[in-house]
Amino acid sequence: MTAPGGAAPGASLLARTRRRLALGTLVVVGALVLALGAATALIGTSILDQEVDRALQAAATAYLGRLGGETPSDGGEAAEIREPQAADTFFLVLDASGSLVANPSGIALASLPDVAAVVAARTAGRDLRTVDLGGTRVRLLTLPVAEDRATTGWLQTGIVLTLRDRQAQGLVLGIVLVGLLGLAGAGLATLWITGRALVPIRAAFDTERRFVADASHEIRTPAALIRSSAEILQREELVAAPGRPLVDDIVGEADRLGRLVEDLLALAASERGTLAVETAPLDLVGLARTAVRRATPLADERGLRLAGPGPAEPAVAVLGDEDRLLQVLLILLDNAFRHSPPGGTVTVAAARAPRDRARIEVLDEGPGVPPAMREKVFEPFARMPASRSRADAGSGLGLAIARRLVELHAGTLTVGDGPGGGARFVLEMPARAHPEPAATRARHADRV
């Protein structure tokens, strides 16, 4: 079986950057389109309302001219009563008290005439309002009918707003559709532009990655020669006693340089997508015991207690690369040791998890990882602000390499709070129903 791969961290970073640029640009464009659309709709409906009011005033003025300042006493023109249509203009002639005298348009009188409009017109000289006639909106203008400056009655002129409302709805719908099409076009253009903008960044990133890989290869040999030469000086006692601590320091620093070079090479292989993963059935509980055994001397040096799975723990079968997963656990343990106080306990636990998953946890009693740092600690060269010293802080590459190795196993590596307040690193990956017999195990190399 093959180990699933994933996007290289560098490619993932560029993809995330592109998505964020595109999203930010779309948010700005979307806000501009929304503001422009709202302004257009507001101006358009305002123009429609002005046209309605202008037509209403013109119709009322013309009809007042026909009345000549007199209110018909015999009811005036008679017309057949009918329901108002979409854009009807109608007239109602009222006497001085506001009672209906004539309905020349034959409009159905649902809540008409409007007495409140007449009362308001007596005070202001005219009244313009929008009224609802049983679900039909009407713009109603009330003007006095006057002769020799004496008010003899009132004229209420109305325009049914059904057509105007349809036009306004059509305008808004058109603006929305144009806005959506504009956003879609802006999205495509944004993706294209951001893709083009990231080309030089991607090229610089590739150049830096090649440089790191090449430089690491070149440094590895001199570092090994320095270490071997210092070991000869130690072994043959070719340095006087006062200088021997300096030779010990050279060996220690050469070791640290060698580990840094190996980490850089692993990270470069991960970035290139050529990190080798060989998969085989294995037991995570047994792997955890192996990691504890390998790391116990380092824990003893630091005055820490290291606890692992007990002998009665049931096996947890997975399909993975034993060497790579052991590397992950040792990275997590080294990180836990560096952040645990002297006399503290580091615990490794392995068990099955819900939804056919397998889980390994590494818990320490250190200061923990703040929520804001829980993703950043997995980035290359990331360090916790509370690291005690430069020598104790590590290279900042271990957790980035560990997460990449776990992702190649279709797993996840996260960090949270431990029960005692320290950090709790959790590795989860797909579990198998049961371990396969050793005779049937097959290892497969997968270049991802």
What does the pLDDT look like over 406-425, one tens digit per residue? Answer: 988 889 999 998 887 889 99
* CA distance between the termini of the chain: 14
* pLDDT tens, position by position, 9-23: 556 667 777 788 888
With a cut of 90, say whether residue 141 has pLDDT above it: yes
Q: Are 296 and 359 in contact (CB under 8 A)?
A: no
* pLDDT tens, position by position, 194-224: 777 777 777 766 666 666 666 666 666 777 7
Average pLDDT of the chain is: 81
pLDDT the model gives residue 87: 79
Return the higher-pLDDT residue of 277 and 290. Answer: 290
With a cut of 90, say whether residue 380 has pLDDT above it: no
What's the CATH number of domain 278-447, 3.30.565.10, 3.40.50.720, 3.40.190.10, 3.20.20.10? 3.30.565.10
Q: How far apart are CA 98 and CA 116, in angstroms?
A: 10
- Say which amino acid occupies 354: P
* pLDDT tens, position by position, 328-351: 999 899 889 988 899 999 999 999
pLDDT the model gives residue 107: 79
Q: Do 278-447 and 65-164 have the same topology in CATH?
A: no
HSE on the CB side for 192, CA within 13 Å? 6
Q: DSSP string covering 193-224, please? A: HHHHHTHHHHHHHHHHHHHHHHHHHHHHHHHH
pLDDT the model gives residue 215: 63
What's the CATH number of domain 203-274, 1.10.3720.10, 1.10.287.130, 1.10.10.10, 3.30.413.10? 1.10.287.130
HSE on the CB side for 80, CA within 13 Å? 1
From the number of C-beta atoms within 10 Å of its C-beta (0-12, 13-18, 19+), residue 403 rates as: buried
**Residue whose structure tokens are 């006693």:** 241
**Sorting pLDDT into bands at 50, 70 and 90, what band is 437?**
very low
Q: Where are the domains of the chain?
A: 65-164, 203-274, 278-447
The CATH code of the domain at 65-164 is: 3.30.450
One-letter-per-residue 3-state SS of 14-42: HHHHHHHHHHHHHHHHHHHHHHHHHHHHH
